[in-house]
Amino acid sequence: MIKAIVFDFDGVIIDTETPLYQSWQEIFKTYDAHLEISVVTRLIGTAESFDVVQHLEDLTGITFDREKLNAQRRKRYLSLIDDSPLMDGVADYIDAAAGHKIGLGVASSSDRNWLTTHLTARGIIEKFGTVKSRDDVAQAKPAPDLFLAAVEALGVLPEEAIAIEDSANGATAAKNAGLYTVVVPNDMTRDLNFDHADLRLDSLAAMPLAQLVQHANGDGASKS
């Protein structure tokens, strides 16, 4: 019986991943270079980093003032995120969970300050019974630690929870933790392999919470 839902944050609650790619791509174009989307997508859902400036230097042969370039890129990135609404269906799920007495949590490979800042800015942080970040666990995704920490904090068993993810790394973490795993890919992750997930949706708006819970509880829980 499903008692909780654990959301990933980046790309699931708000789209921070498209702005990340866009903000870097704009800089690359300034120097007649191109940032392959695969460079970004392979890191989504993990705490792993990639030296994008070094990549740009390798492509252009230019040595950049890293502090200045990173500050410029981050300013643009944050302005794009500030304009990002909640992803389709997220607000409906949050509201419906209260009516169904389903606990809510967040499990993200981002740091705690990032999560609390954006959840607070959108007025939804109090809706979640727990918010787990990479600061709370030994290993971020694709290790299962974050999801295990979240369900423990919510007082439920892994098999009593649904994970909502947008990345292959996140789906791996959720499945290895024992949660029913739903993937909702965005424009950045749409072409990744999600064969290991239990269910794939185009958006949360495509399936009401009550119907998803039925799927997870075994009533028609086939992949789509």
Tell me which residues are annotated as active site: 8, 10
User: 51 with 40: CB under 8 angstroms?
Assistant: no
| CA distance linking residue 220 with residue 99, whole number of Å | 22
Measure the CA dihedral 126/153/15/20, to 10°.
120
User: Using CA of residue 185, residue 145, residue 47, residue 20, what is the dihedral sign?
Assistant: positive
- How, if at all, do strands 130-132 and 199-200 pair? unpaired
Characterize 105-126 residue by residue with b for buried, 16 or more Cβ atoms within 10 angstroms of its Cβ, and e for exposed: bbbbbbeeebbeebbeebebee
- Which of 148, 156, 202 has the alpha carbon at shortest distance from 175? 148
182 burial (CB, 10 Å; 0-12 / 13-18 / 19+) is buried
How far apart, in whole angstroms, are the C-alpha atoms of residue 70 and residue 207? 39
